[in-house]
Amino acid sequence: MEFLLYLWDEIDDWAGVGRHLAAATVAEFAVLSGAFLSAGSALALWCIVPQSHLNVALLGLTATFWGTRRKSLGPQR
């Protein structure tokens, strides 16, 4: 009986590790998706509106930079 308790404890520990890794991966993708979406929309505007290439490039670079920078700053108070 004690063997089953140890086995259950190990299975529970590995399941917890799996849940933590899955949640961390989803959180990373959620944070970075905003930066990639803004860069993608700026690229689409670059192709659609050729007369404002500089403005679109600055918009895309700024949005991508601040989107990734916000993640590196950590939690805000």
Predicted confidence at residue 46, as pLDDT, reads: 74
Residue with more model confidence, 67 or 75: 67
Domain spans in the chain, listed from the N-terminal domain onward: 2-71
Alpha helices in the chain (DSSP H): 2-48, 53-73
Tell me the pTM: 0.47
Q: Report pLDDT digits (tens) over 10-51.
A: 999 999 999 999 999 888 887 777 777 777 777 787 788 777
Predicted confidence at residue 11, as pLDDT, reads: 93
Contact 40, 60 (CB under 8 A): no
- Residue 61: CB partners within 8 Å, gap ≥ 6? 42
Q: How many CB atoms lie within 10 A of CB 32?
A: 14
Q: Is the pLDDT of residue 67 over 90?
A: no
pLDDT band at 77 (very low <50, low <70, confident <90, very high): very low
Tokens of 65: 């930079």
